[in-house]
Amino acid sequence: MAQSTVADLVERHRPTLEAAVAAAAQRGYWSAYPESPSPKVYGETAAAEGLEAYQAYLGKPFPIDQPSTDGWVGSERSPFGPKLGVTYPHPEVDALLAAMKAALPAWRDAGPETRAAVCIEIVDRLNKRSFELANAIMHTSGQAFVMSFQAGGTHAQDRALEAIAYGYAEMTRHAGSAYWEKPQGKRDPLKMTKTFHPVPRGIALVIGCNTFPTWNSYPGLFASLVTGNPVVVKPHPRAVLPLAITVAVGREVLAESGFDPNLMCLAAEADGEGLATVLATHHDVKIVDFTGSSQYGNWLEQHARQAQVYTEKAGVNTVVVDSTDDWRGMLGNIAFSLVLYSGQMCTTPQNFLVPRDGIQTDDGHKSFDEVAAGISVAVDNLTGDEARAVELLGAIVNQGVLDRLAHAEGLGSVVRPSATLTHPSFPDAVVRTPLLVALDAKDEEVYAGEHFGPISFVIATDSTEQSLEIFRRTVGTHGALTASVYSTREPVLEAAEDAAIDVGVALSCNLNGGVFVNQSAAFSDFHGTGANPACNAALTDGAFVAGRFRIVQSRRHV
């Protein structure tokens, strides 16, 4: 792409960039990429072409040309049944990172506006391939198709654009240069010109996860890229394809824009190889983004000392149930949040704290058992029709989730057992409905740890006051990404908000409609706070991007 064309790219994407920067500051609703997979939005042939593009990858080496390949790896199997059979280049680490370091200076010197425009062009092209990505995400994560299209496609693209906007805003909120004149009384004033250069930290590593390969990776990927850092993407070995497509698109745009495509590289690994550890502790890697287990996230924070490390880990997402003036709406909202993607979201509620004496509702007083049974029935209503249910539940992503599910059945009194459903289109898919287990407040050794998957606990407490104490203690100690409260009493809502602020977790109050606690909106909701053990940085705010570059000044006398 000629220099004039790069300038055209800057002009073409300037309105989007300005709108995204404004939206991130104002925090209202805004989206650049329509979430509906309707042919009226993306074209009559888009769905068929996306499926065809996905199927063209199967059983073949992935078409990507990058340096320092020492072999090919691939072990993906769709949670819906078939093996993908795609293989990917395995890197020789030192040589790959050396090529990426060589690409950095020209990208750094291009400046924030050019980098932002190139990054937006990458995201725009990914958006045009949303159906292709949706199929790849569905068959690596187990998300149902519509969720794959929305969460893994358009919502992830909005999160990418949000990161680009934050990066651009942070790099340009100071003057790029200044004239400095200091009076010296009777003597001539001191005069200097000063130039301020945003300088990237170095190579950034993105460690992808199995469940949300794009949604959880795009913020860090594009925050690093827009601030001038080359990015090496190390996908989860069972969810490589969506990120391989992403890297391939990025390399294509970078090359067309006149930049070295090695600013974005793929680092695929064999299952169990441990390539993330090798990369994360390499002296050339200066930024690490990770989503996954607390154990490995903590290890990275302690051992990747040469890098700025951003982690999103496990937590005990909690709901305090005190009272409600919309019994049916509350139950329906809770049930949907549990059924969506079989609870395989880092934001799905796990612990429901309910007074053992019950709660007041618009449908009369409900005992603890009636609250637990009400949630169970609401889940039944969503999962009773198998053909409809599988489009919400998706498939179980891996054996670890099934093992935890089997173990959880013996942890308390089962209110609602997890049922096996048959997928009408994919008979080999492993589909399970949520498990609901009743516990007592004294069973803290059970509910204080994360049980990732379709596993939730209804916990009997002595009072709402005790519920809030447990909420404060467990989240403060073990972390959480979401919290929720249901109450008709303003003092309870205020106390819950005070507790949420103290322990650093996002709080939702009295959700009973189309907004769910485990979903967050780009440009408005802050995903994660960095203020509790579940994550060490909010994934979408200025601080998330500001640590990826430094300002280096030069000055000289006039």
pLDDT tens, residue by residue, 525-545: 999 999 999 999 887 788 899
pLDDT band with cut points at 50, 70 and 90 for residue 24: very high
Please give the structure tokens belonging to residue 415: 């209110």
Measure the CA–CA gap between 276 and 293, rounded to whole angstroms: 13
Mean pLDDT of 11-19: 97
pLDDT tens digits for range 376-396: 999 999 999 999 999 999 999
Mean pLDDT of 397-413: 97
Judge whether 216 and 209 are in contact, CB under 8 Å. yes
Specify the pLDDT at position 95.
97
Mean pLDDT of 169-190: 96
Instruction: Give domain limits for the chain.
Output: 3-313+538-557, 318-509
Residue 38: DSSP 8-state = -
pLDDT band with cut points at 50, 70 and 90 for residue 281: very high
Q: Given the DSSP bridges, would you call strands 549-557 and 506-509 parallel, antiparallel or unpaired?
A: unpaired
Report in angstroms the alpha-carbon separations of 487 from 65, 271, 360, 490: 57, 47, 9, 8
Examine the pLDDT at 298 and tell me if it is beyond 60.
Answer: yes
Examine the pLDDT at 299 and tell me if it is beyond 60.
Answer: yes
Judge whether 137 and 214 are in contact, CB under 8 Å. yes
Judge whether 1 and 12 are in contact, CB under 8 Å. no
Examine the pLDDT at 303 and tell me if it is beyond 90.
Answer: yes
Mean pLDDT of 43-64: 98
Q: How crowded is the C-beta side of 440, counted as CA atoms within 13 Å?
A: 2
Q: How crowded is the C-beta side of 276, counted as CA atoms within 13 Å?
A: 22
Query: Within 31-154, where are the H helices?
Result: 39-42, 46-57, 93-110, 112-128, 130-141, 145-147
Specify the pLDDT at position 541.
82
Residue 410: DSSP 8-state = T
Residues 6+ apart with CB under 8 A from 375: 331, 334, 335, 338, 352, 415, 416, 436, 458
What average pLDDT is seen over the chain? Answer: 96
Residue 433: DSSP 8-state = P
Q: Closest Cα partner for 485 from 476, 493, 494, 495? A: 493
Examine the pLDDT at 2 and tell me if it is beyond 90.
Answer: no
Measure the CA–CA gap between 520 and 541, rounded to whole angstroms: 14
Q: DSSP for 144-212?
A: -HHHIIIIIIIHHHHHHHHHHHHHHHHHHSS-SEEEEEEEETTEEEEEEEEEEEEEE-SEEEEE--SS-
Q: What is the 3-state secondary structure (H, E, C) of 460-512?
A: EECCHHHHHHHHHHHHHHHCCCEEEEECCCHHHHHHHHHHHHHHCCEEEECCC
Measure the CA–CA gap between 331 and 353, rounded to whole angstroms: 14
Comparing 61 with 538, the larger pLDDT belongs to 61
Comparing 402 with 542, the larger pLDDT belongs to 402
Terminal C-alpha separation, the chain: 38
Protein fold of 3-313+538-557:
Aldehyde Dehydrogenase; Chain A, domain 1 (3.40.605)
Specify the pLDDT at position 422.
95
Residue 207: strand pairing partners: 234, 290
Specify the pLDDT at position 158.
98
Q: Which CATH entry fits the domain spanning 318-509: 2.40.30.30, 3.20.20.70, 3.40.309.10, 3.10.180.10? A: 3.40.309.10
DSSP helix/strand/coil, 83: strand
Examine the pLDDT at 80 and tell me if it is beyond 80.
Answer: yes
Specify the pLDDT at position 537.
85
Judge whether 319 and 487 are in contact, CB under 8 Å. no
Report in angstroms the alpha-carbon separations of 111 from 172, 176, 231: 10, 10, 17
Judge whether 51 and 135 are in contact, CB under 8 Å. yes
Specify the pLDDT at position 539.
78
pLDDT tens digits for range 210-240: 999 999 999 999 999 999 999 999 999 999 9
Please give the structure tokens belonging to residue 495: 């106390």
pLDDT tens digits for range 106-121: 999 999 999 999 999 9
**Proportion of the chain above pLDDT 90, given as a percent:** 97
Examine the pLDDT at 3 and tell me if it is beyond 80.
Answer: no
pLDDT band with cut points at 50, 70 and 90 for residue 260: very high
Residues 6+ apart with CB under 8 A from 491: none
Q: How crowded is the C-beta side of 330, counted as CA atoms within 13 Å?
A: 27
